[in-house]
A and B are shown apart, each in its own frame.
Chain A
């Protein structure tokens, strides 16, 4: 079950003075400061256009993923395919706050949503899922391995947790080049138990790297519920040992996500080093297409769908703000058309040429 982010924090207790002359004094080591700023006013004040854009993007991800599931069922997509349905508000809320062409994004294998939220053409993503020449990786990567250096989207990584250290490297490059950019590194509650995550936390905090660590806590590491696999289930606290401020965010509300993103990104851009954000969310589908999801009840899923769905939630706000059902139907129609076109494209594109087998192994000839 999606964990409820806490809305009230106990007041920060005065801490005993540090034993040695550590660099940070107890006073400036306030790990809750960002969370407190967020809680003061948790909803981003989106204007009408922004709100509509959030809605469209989330709907695009939802419909795209539904279509991907359908194509998988038809045997047009093979292997592993991890859908993002339910988690849409996270990618849209965070990435809408990034600076285009400057900031970098890296994630794990559940990557379709992050790519769509970055404005990457749904056609080339879907064509990658079907393993075609026109796919973003020429059909050689598949669902889990997609990249767009043009959009500064650095994957799409299949090894759980690897993207965290790689993201540290992207942040190092931002810092080295003094370009003012930051890296947004997504990982799940499962990856949060990998050792390299903490190695990266340590170096990122030590070197004040411009990186935002985002734990998408969807409640389950494949089939293992968070409480069965994690001693500390409050993931936003996991940076405490490295003096990384944490934020505990409702990942089912795009306006709250965006609000938290603004606060976190500012902190990082101001040169204060990393922030760890826990986004509490939920995936409606199984871990991958072949997961029967017997580790949770249908009622649990249905309850989230009925009460916390990020798209339905924003729809309500839009309707309250003067949009009509017809307006939203028209958007749905438009999105379905985009997705249908992507699916058609992905089915009609040819498979890669056999000669592609040997290309891109190495860049240079030796």
Chain B
């Protein structure tokens, strides 16, 4: 039985090569593993090994031939006598051409998801005043009571009661099996948390701050975010990575970065960055219940702030839905996390100037609720994005792109962004103040888009 030997592809990018040398001649017996020829690829000279047993009957491409296309028949072999039976004559794969790209040339329509609305708070629900810190702790405690698979791990989460006291009391209630102190080893424990999620648990991995999660970002992105896709939907990774993010106070450049845009750039992740207590609790509970990996970005400067929170048995909010925190008709200020506080402060000032600003808290950075932003833009025709973070490749730049692409006809002014200065955060009090966003800068930007500057 004749076996065709074809010019092999010997690297991911090779399309053709040079048949440098034949090491076997016509009539030679060939055993599997024998080197038949040397082939020069775009990268190196490679040896071409025989797979089948038999006799080299004819050389079709002489040595020294350049630009031999991959798949060209370079020689013919006859299967070995007795071995030419069924066993050894396992036919060399038929010259199935490399598969043609799927017939559809046009990309399929991308499925669109409709963000869910917040559940109605029943009339007469008591509103409690709690700090964001307590809201986060309560969210974890409630979910741990509800689901045995949920546990918390991180540095100082147990005996120390949390570096920022977010896990206070959890060790007492749930014990060391479910509230696990780790060594200072972010890459390692992020991997262990991710692996535990793959193994069926529901870990909450606390980073003392997200600055340290840069050591672990490989597991957040390569292991947690991509595995479900790469496994064709087999491997779930229901892990929550949470902790304080962005600038704190006078801790310098290495402890002060907002990673929202970094994580929000990655398909396969859910990224949440709440501002107030109600959203912190409702969204953290949703994050823990989600079957997807979630990056949950908190803010140290907001931990101690108190907000109203509905006293419900199960306060869970929808992921992927922005919230209009202040209605207005003249301009839309889009923000998230600590920026929402500055935006609300700015809106108060602007109200005094006769400018009625709407404030949107994105709450979830990925998937981003474009609809709420665009609907607001259609009403106010002007947008300012306020973000405590660097301007380049930011959530602000993303919102601006969306407004351009999908809201252009409604815009009466260019969208402006108010972000931190494009520098590593300085330590000196005056310089730090100059670098970070504040309400005044938002007010100025709004005046500009309203042409009242």
Contacts and interface: CB of A to CB of B under 8 A. Distances in A.
A106 B94 CA distance: 34
Nearest to B100: A351
B128 to A, nearest CB: 27
Interface residues of B, number: 90
Given A74-B9, A305-B33, A158 B201 contact: no
B232 A136 contact: yes
A174 B189 contact: no
Contacts of A136: 232, 234
B231 A167 contact: no
Given A137-B230, A195-B187, A362 B268 contact: yes
In this complex, the member of B45, B108, B231 whose beta carbon has the largest number of chain A beta carbons within 10 angstroms is: B231
Contacts of B218: 159, 162
A15 to B, nearest CB: 25
Given A75-B71, A149-B235, A154-B198, 14 more contacts: A137-B234, A145-B227, A166-B219, A172-B196, A292-B44, A292-B47, A329-B87, A347-B93, A351-B99, A357-B107, A360-B229, A363-B290, A363-B292, A364-B290
Given A158-B222, A172-B201, A340-B90, A361 B44 contact: no
Nearest to A340: B90
A289 interface: yes
Contacts of B87: 329, 332-333, 336
B285 to A, nearest CB: 14
B81 interface: no
Interface in A320-360: 329, 332-333, 336-337, 339-340, 343, 347, 351-355, 357-360
A71 interface: yes
Interface string A172-213: 111011000000000000000001100110110010000000
B113 interface: yes
A175 B87 CA distance: 47
Interface stretch (A6-14, A76-84, A274-282): A76-84
B20 to A, nearest CB: 12
Contact of B223 (A159, A173, A357): A159
In this complex, the member of A70, A138, A167 whose beta carbon has the largest number of chain B beta carbons within 10 angstroms is: A70
Interface string B91-103: 1111110110110
Nearest to B110: A358
Contacts of A362: 228, 268, 270, 292, 367
B193 interface: yes
A5 B318 CA distance: 57
Contacts of B203: 169
Interface string B165-191: 000000000000100001101011111
B194 interface: yes
Interface residues of A, number: 87
Nearest to A81: B12
A168 B188 contact: yes
A98 to B, nearest CB: 15
Contact of B185 (A164, A169, A199): A199
29 contacts: A67-B51, A73-B8, A130-B99, A138-B233, A155-B231, A162-B222, A162-B223, A165-B219, A166-B198, A168-B191, A169-B194, A169-B197, A173-B201, A174-B199, A196-B187, A196-B188, A199-B183, A290-B12, A290-B43, A290-B44, A292-B44, A292-B46, A333-B87, A347-B94, A353-B102, A355-B108, A358-B111, A366-B113, A366-B270
A106 B108 CA distance: 34
A66 interface: yes
Contacts of B71: 74-75
Nearest to B116: A366
Contacts of A73: 6, 8-10, 48
A235 interface: no
Contacts of A70: 51, 92-93
Given A159-B218, A165-B195, A366-B270, A360 B99 contact: no
A202 B192 CA distance: 12
A80 B234 CA distance: 22
Interface string A289-300: 110101000100
B255 interface: no
Contacts of A158: 222
Contact of A360 (B47, B110, B198, B233): B233
Contacts of A292: 43-47
B319 interface: yes
B188 A199 contact: yes
B115 interface: yes
B199 A170 contact: yes
Contacts of B389: none
